A and B are shown apart, each in its own frame.
Chain A
Amino acid sequence: MTIPTIDEVTQALSKMVADKMDIDVATIQSDSSLQSLGLDSLDIFDLIFSAEDHFKIKVPNDQIKIESLHDVSLLVHKLIIEQSK
């Protein structure tokens, strides 16, 4: 499996957020807080769910400690590498 770069992960996650929240993807910055993008706790679960599907990873419950889109990118990228082994 080809490991995507962190930028590619961020790009894919930004698209998911834009689609889910009905916002323009251009308005999303990687350091945007998820709260400022309008996501509540349930929306974050849903975003993680979509990321799990898209990147074929499993995010353990105890690792969902995230504030910003950048946090999600780092976590997802780390898990892609770990779980591709």
Chain B
Amino acid sequence: MTNISNRRRVVITGLSVVSPLGNTIDELSKNIFSGISGIKLLDEEFVDQLDCKIAAQATFNPADHFTKHTYSMLDRTSQMALHTSIEAVKDAGLEITDQLKPRMGIYLGTGMGGAHSMEDGYIRLYRDGASRLKPFTVLMGMNNAAAAAIALEHKLTGPNLTFSTACSSSAVAIGEASRQIRHGYADVMLAGGSEALLTFGTIKAWEALRTLATQDENDLTSSCKPFSADRTGLVLGEGAAILVLESYEHATARGANIYAEILGYGSASDSTHITQPSVNGQTATIQAAILDADIPAEAIQYINAHGTGTMLNDVTESNAIKNTFGAHAYDLSLSSTKSMHGHLMGATGALEAIITTLAVNTNTLPPTTNLNNPDPQCDLDYVPNVARAIPRLNYAMSNSFAFGGTGASLVFKKINP
């Protein structure tokens, strides 16, 4: 990888979420730094038929935000993404002029796209014996439906791509969007992810993979325990998270509030196993991001870990961090906020990118909650249970790894370190 001399700086000027920890940045921030969990008993009729009855659901009623005509043509994934995009643009104070539209695009990640719409269709067809499906089934189910809805809403005619690399989808979307700006193909990008897969069929499919957490019967909200010796797996979540990315020149010219800079992005493929994470693949991903950021590895002070809470991931990720940073691995801090917001799959990288941005902005490290029995194989500083204020957080990283092997790491920088 070469350091391209004419690359432009990419900054974050807008943030928005629909998440298990709230649907505003203020709520998310308050909850994440207070160690509040969004994991609870799944509020669905079919919950009794599940082995794993917990999830991190978002509280999102489309009728609160859209007309029936609009929301009835959109899957829950697209509804959440569209709402989030509108709020992100508002947060950025951005006026999307006719001049800007061709220079502004949307890159979105999703793992399973319109899971609700497809499952509703199959129920109608296979269970209810219907002979035909609703006319919008294809348009609601397709993976690029959410990005398309966003481009239509804001009339964006710049690049519009959907990334589907399972759990790293939205980290990839943010990284690739930042490159569009960095290399001059766009001035502003909406980038993030959306996922709504808490359907009976999808949860059953995840159950079969034996990666879901066992419920903590003493406290359901504490069921996800990343890096703890008694961790049992991940907790499925849903939501959407979108960032407004902008060239530094464009942002400063309009006097925008800048949250942080995206300094680097790296991606690599494990290419070893469809589910088992690889230390080499994760190391290559993290190293690529640091090289792209053009900073010494020792500059990284905090990592928002992928930290799924599965036995394999947490040891592998810890080892990849040791591999990359050497002795500095024991000086930096990392945490898995999935202990609170669960695993939003295709949206998780974007939610965690926002949390990392907030950390940089507030000089506060979010905790890994439910970390009460340290695993000897996970011997780094995981910011256990309580958020930590530090004098100055200049450089942070967010990791995302995935089934299928595509890793993505992003490096964030305080705007004036």
Could you tell me which A residues sit within 8 Å of B by CB distance?
19-22, 38, 42-43, 45-46, 49
Contact = CB atoms under 8 A, between A and B. Distances in A.
8 contacts: A19-B68, A20-B69, A21-B69, A22-B67, A42-B135, A43-B69, A46-B136, A49-B132
B358 to A, nearest CB: 37
B387 interface: no
Nearest to A19: B68
Nearest to A52: B132
Contacts, number: 21
SS class of chain A's interface: helix, strand, loop or mixed?
helix
Nearest to A43: B69
A49 B69 contact: no
Contacts of A45: 135
Closest 7 A-B residue pairs measured CB to CB? A45-B135, A22-B67, A22-B68, A46-B135, A49-B135, A21-B69, A22-B69
A64 to B, nearest CB: 11
A20 B136 CA distance: 13
B139 interface: yes
B68 A20 contact: yes
Nearest to A44: B135
Interface string B54-73: 00000000000001110011
B312 to A, nearest CB: 45
Contacts of B67: 22
A33 to B, nearest CB: 17
Nearest to B72: A20
B134 interface: yes
B138 to A, nearest CB: 11
A40 to B, nearest CB: 10
A46 B139 CA distance: 12
B193 to A, nearest CB: 26
A42 B69 contact: no
A60 to B, nearest CB: 13
A25 to B, nearest CB: 14
Contacts of A22: 67-69
A45 B72 CA distance: 14
